Structure 1
Amino acid sequence: MKMKPIHVALCLLVLISVGCTPDPKSGKGFTLPEGDIQRGQQTFATLHCQACHTVKGVTFDTLESSADQKMVALGGAKTKVQTYGDLVTSIINPSHRFATGYAEEEVATDGESKMRRYNNEMTVQQLIDLVAFLESHYSVIQYDQTRYVPFHF
């Protein structure tokens, strides 16, 4: 039995639409209200984030930290956009992905982030403001495409 082109097209359309359905646990469509950058900077200081983090272009009062504590730099120019979702996830689930550019033992112990979990002490508003503050200190380095130069033998 030969399938007609219309049947093949319909089958492909069904397969494509099923493949495009988001996972029920997907964050697609999830957003929080706009945050306040100034309040976010205050939250950063209130939660003593500066004990383990620096933020490009911002100076905080110095806090005591252990001698083996590696300071993790936040903000600055990056080649990849630090998305809203990346920042929220890094704050509420720090073991999801470890800071790049650091040896794992500097930022994790036994596969868990050294970052304290703030989920039971941070309000949603503080999270929203903190993310707004952090977002404001990232910029993206534009990719500089090199010109193609043909190789001649």
Structure 2
Amino acid sequence: MMVIAGAQSLLGRALVAKLNNQNFNYLVLADENQSDNEEWLADALYWHKVSNSDLPNWIEQNAEEIEFIICCSLITNKSKSTQFNSLWKSGYQHQIPVIGIGTSEKKVKEIILDNQPPFFWTILLTENLKTKPEVSSVAQAIYYYIRNRQNSGLRTLDKVPSE
């Protein structure tokens, strides 16, 4: 199973669609807003939903089944950094691969250098995720790293090999 944090974001939606297209449906979708307005889920195939506030405990209880933790929220501010830091620590504690998205190499390094890393991790650095082609490229890159675990590290989109 894969945990998708930030699932309601533009990138989260694109990634869920990409994974569903490739028959990955054993997904857990996490986001800040677990509202009644769930139109964004209309076409998504997934196993479970969880709120961001419940996510750390949920991961703790289900760690043995989790194959990846993917954070689709850009690490841009203190709140997002705190969330990613929590997911990073869970990845290390339970040896679950972690994939994240950041805009600032400095902010990302603050997290990864201050904490023990999971056995596999990739953080994609991108300027922004405002257009559909940019979002699609990042979703494709995440899918690539799910399918092709290589050495851990920071990556830029221009350095993601094509399949």
Q: Report TM bin, short chain.
A: under 0.3
Higher relative contact order at CA 8 Å, sep ≥6: structure 1 or structure 2? 1
TM-score, normalised with respect to structure 1:
0.25
- Greater per-residue strand proportion: 2
